[in-house]
Structure 1
Amino acid sequence: MAHSDAFRQKMADAGLHDLFTDGWIGLYEKFCAGDKGFIAESAIEPVTELPELDSLPEGDEALLGKTVVLKLNGGLGTGMGLDKAKSLLEVKNGDTFLDLIAKQIRKLREKHPVRFMLMNSFSTEADTKEFFSKYPEIQEVWDQEVSFMQNMSPKVDAASKEPVDWPSKPGCEWCPPGHGDIYAAMLCSGKLDMLLAEGYEYAFVSNSDNLGATLDLRLLGYLAESGAPMLMEVCVRGEDDKKGGHLARQRGSGILTLRESAQCPKEDEKDFQDITKHKFFNTNNLWFNLRRLREVMADGVLPLPIIVNEKKVDPASKENPGPKVFQLETAMGAAISSLPDSQAICVPFERFAPVKTCNQLFALRSDAYVINEEFKPVLAPGALKPVVEFDDHYKMVPDMEAAIPHGVPSLKLCKKLTVKGKVVFAPNVAIHGEVQILNGSKTGPAPTVTGTIRGSADKLRILRDADDAQPHTAISGAALSATSRAFTMPRTAGSTQGLPVIRQAIP
């Protein structure tokens, strides 16, 4: 049974715009009618070919004066143990995401007066505005030009489908509506009409944690020349991307559509994860023709498919997370099927460099990456592209940083680093090739990793444990090659369980 009136009253009391409320109530009523937003495999067809960025000509620089660079900045990064805007996290050499974004904008403005905007949330607005005091040219026009607020959605009590009530922590009764809210937020705030009135025609939108998403004149030129309302940047899926959303075409119409993992029925998961069948994923780097976008929203907010996420009302609380709730969300990229004639372009991976996990942050902070003259992270000359895999001991940023009190090891010549169990890296550690560091002990101080650890450049083979070694030192192992190193803690007599050991490949 739907409780639309109760939700509508709650949203009105919170001061939410009627247009947003109408759109959200529409999603809620679909949900109550049994619509879980699933997109069945039988309803779609794979996308087999797309134009590639390298084939596009350079666009006219004059287009920059009509363009907005808009960053989505509503996330707190709670999944990485953060309690403020994720974009305030230090990325490299003392610079945060927002530092590098601000420097990218300054670089662009050396040639053209590119407009810069942020979509913040009720959780990130204050911290972000305070941060930009170091960039006064941005903070001085904060309310007039830069910031607009993402809406907030009421959580749905899973048992009753009523608005959840959590008086001990009322903020937990609300959640972000997903980045698909950008369309309603721009419309309801008046920012979209303001931009059009000031002569802006195009917008480049991306996540604030994707520093690879810089303004590219080839894509801007293609958007302007094609007249498409929306252009989506996609990359070719790899093994690491098979659980993420993919691009497809609606069966019959051929219209491009986006299917997220939460929209895949369980029986279709094998097809969903088949990267040879569904080849492309959405980078969430999107380009818009603002005039065409406004035309589609002449009668209200852009209709988007529902995404249903199941959570606890207060997931951050270990003592009392509360009852199960549903969060009804939408995805920004899903607009590709709501905006007729939208297109997609295949771009290289360098344009998709998000930091969603400590694995990615660890690699980015290492010497394998440098910041180029456009303030964009790129692989250092001669560096491999390291893959870092941590276990749950390093899921949160404070735990990761506790392991690197002297800084991130050198990963310039690392192909893959796997760490399981707690360890501490000493100063001047270097990882070469493919290496596993395994500590099975759950008690005592974390062992220290020292020196240069060399592994295989191609295939990882795990050696037997070294039998005798002093703790907290890197040693030569008699069974290893001359360039190999192993680290171990003393064994407990008659047992190998709980043995902390660096294991690595023969080069």
Structure 2
Amino acid sequence: MGSKGLETARAKMQDAGVDPVAIDTFAHYYRLLEHGETGMIPESTITPLDMESLADVEVDDEAAAEAIRRTAVIKLNGGLGTSMGMDRAKSLLCVRRGLSFLDIIARQVLHLRKEHGADLPLIFMNSFRTSADTMAALARYEDLQVDGLPLEFLQNKVPKLLAAGLVPAAYPKNPDLEWCPPGHGDLYTALRGAGLLAQLREAGFRHVFVSNSDNLGAVPDARVAGWFAQSGAPFAIEAVRRTASDRKGGHFATRKADGRIVLRESAQTLEADKDSLADLDRHKYTSTNNLWFDLDAMTEALDARQGILGLPMIRNVKHLDPADPTTQEVIQIETAMGAAIEIFEGARTIEVGRDRFVPVKTTNDLLVLRSDIYDLGQDFVLDQSSDGVPFIELDGDFYKLVGDFDKRFPEGAPSLREARSLVIDGDVTFGKGVRVVGDVKIKAPSAERIDASAVLAADG
């Protein structure tokens, strides 16, 4: 028997029909939490990691084609984009030429199937909040689903725990808010629970490529697939050089104790180590969340652990209702899927170009994606048309929510190809065809409008 809080949480999950292995996995982390585990990774326990670059790797074309033919694609699609004011699947957001993330992902995969003569299954890991909207949006792509395989599976859900007492939170006003996703580290538990690992192996697939649906740069690329196949690694993650916008984000390192690669997230970094976290010269690489794994290796690892991979825990403290700071503090037990890299002996990382990492987490990112920084080719792959990606910082009071953002760019995004940075402090609406050149900062004490075809420059 466990503690009263754990037994109450178990009963709640059972009543909600949560998969038994997901319940056991939650219990594993609950006990760690109960015994004071914080999931922190002190700077003193790690050393910086260096790695090879895809640009320097030779991959035989036929080997690459064969590797992609034996690859299945999974897109993480459980997010609602609530931080940007959305209440539907974030991937439904229109991003280019009237197409949503889902539209572009589907068309990328359909194009690659023709190019390589590959089945290339595309499967979405949805949440109970994104499933219906996502499946309705994908219904137009009649050839998308591969025979014998589903188009989606559902991630699990776990109870939020009151910080005081570690008992499941109750919120009759909105019972959905009593639950939270257990982080994208739930991927492996959910895949096993849905029977998909076995299905994919039986269908002859060897590798899985996983990425976020809000990263349109994460194309299931044959060259990367070929590198992974010829490496013989059981698990790998694509990395990019960190930039100023990544200072607060996670990074790769080597654990001193056993030489394993680890992925340290900001939530796992002690306050005293924040300067090291932000040091781009010390910790050079961040995760794209584009990862590859060998189906046999993943199955064996899960079997050996009775379905509980044992990823490092992330202890997230939030309010029960994220939109209401007066609600009680809760603890959300989460894991990150990239943290699985430390589970596998011989796991690898590889540096890829920034074009494979185009995440949209804020409207700052959305402005870049909608601008002329990227072209969308006939293969529906984003092609970066400028030497670099400018730094964007929009005033959160006026641009944070998608609805407010759209009102201020009614004629589309300005041209950013010649920009190094754009910082807006205040309420500014842009006319059609505005160009931003160099480093531009706009301070607007009251609402302003930039005329159509205006050129904004540092000395303008």
Deviations 1:86-133 (A, max 9, x none): 000001110100110000011011022111111110110000000012
1:23 counterpart (22, 25, 36): 25
Distance in 2, Cα, partners of 1:405 & 1:87: 21
User: Relative contact order: is structure 1 or structure 2 higher (C-alpha 8 Å, sep ≥ 6)?
Assistant: 2
Q: Report the Cα offset of residue 452 of structure 1.
A: 4.7
Aligned to 1:398: 403
**Based on CA coordinates, which of the two structures has the bigger radius of gyration?**
1
* Amino acid paired to 2:129: S
Aligned to 2:131: 125
Aligned to 1:487: none
Distance in 1, Cα, partners of 2:171 & 2:4: 20
Distance in 1, Cα, partners of 2:146 & 2:227: 33
Residues paired across the two proteins, number? 450
Aligned to 2:141: 135
Equivalent residues of 1:71, 1:207 under 8 A apart: yes
Q: Report the Cα offset of residue 453 of structure 1.
A: 4.7
Give the SS at the match of 1:413: strand
Equivalent residues of 2:355, 2:384 under 8 A apart: no
Distance in 2, Cα, partners of 1:384 & 1:52: 19
2:347 counterpart (342, 358, 362): 342
Matched, 1:253 2:206: no
Aligned ranges for residues 183-262 of structure 1 at < 5 Å? 183-262=188-267
C-alpha RMSD of matched pairs (Å) = 1.8
Distance in 2, Cα, partners of 1:177 & 1:57: 38
Aligned to 2:448: 447
Deviations 1:426-453 (A, max 9, x none): 2332222222221123xxxx32111455
Q: Report the Cα offset of residue 159 of structure 1.
A: 1.4
Aligned to 1:170: 175
Q: Report the Cα offset of residue 229 of structure 1.
A: 1.0
* Amino acid paired to 1:50: M
Out of 83-92 and 366-375, give the one that drifted further: 366-375
Q: Report the Cα offset of residue 360 of structure 1.
A: 1.1
Aligned to 2:431: 426
Matched, 1:76 2:80: yes
Q: Report the Cα offset of residue 338 of structure 1.
A: 1.0
Equivalent residues of 1:435, 1:453 under 8 A apart: no
Aligned to 2:361: 356
Out of 418-427 and 172-181, give the one that drifted further: 418-427
Structure 1 pair 205–140 and aligned structure 2 pair: CA distance change class (3 A): closer
* Amino acid paired to 2:86: L
Distance in 1, Cα, partners of 2:69 & 2:400: 42
Distance in 2, Cα, partners of 1:219 & 1:368: 24
Deviations 1:213-262 (A, max 9, x none): 11222321222222211011111112221110010111131110110000
Distance in 2, Cα, partners of 1:431 & 1:274: 29
Give the SS at the match of 2:150: helix
* Amino acid paired to 1:366: S
Give the SS at the match of 2:139: helix
Distance in 2, Cα, partners of 1:257 & 1:187: 23
1:301 counterpart (302, 308, 320): 308
Aligned to 1:313: 320
Out of 51-60 and 102-111, give the one that drifted further: 51-60
Q: Report the Cα offset of residue 54 of structure 1.
A: 1.1
Aligned to 1:506: 459
Equivalent residues of 1:435, 1:454 under 8 A apart: no
Task: Name the % identity.
Answer: 41
Aligned to 1:51: 52
Q: Report the Cα offset of residue 355 of structure 1.
A: 0.9
Aligned ranges for residues 463-502 of structure 1 at < 5 Å? none
* Amino acid paired to 1:11: M
Deviation above 4 Å: which 4+ runs of structure 1? 451-456
* TM-score normalised per structure 1: 0.85
Structure 1: runs of 5 or more not aligned: 457-504
* Amino acid paired to 1:303: G
Out of 166-175 and 61-70, give the one that drifted further: 61-70
Equivalent residues of 2:261, 2:347 under 8 A apart: yes
1:39 counterpart (38, 41, 64): 41
Aligned ranges for residues 398-417 of structure 1 at < 5 Å? 398-417=403-422
Distance in 2, Cα, partners of 1:199 & 1:368: 39
Equivalent residues of 1:244, 1:261 under 8 A apart: yes
1:90 counterpart (88, 91, 94): 94
Distance in 2, Cα, partners of 1:243 & 1:140: 39
Distance in 1, Cα, partners of 2:326 & 2:198: 41
Q: Report the Cα offset of residue 384 of structure 1.
A: 5.7
Give the SS at the match of 1:297: helix
Distance in 1, Cα, partners of 2:368 & 2:102: 19
* Amino acid paired to 1:315: P
Structure 1 pair 348–383 and aligned structure 2 pair: CA distance change class (3 A): closer
* TM-score normalised per structure 2: 0.94
* Amino acid paired to 2:421: K
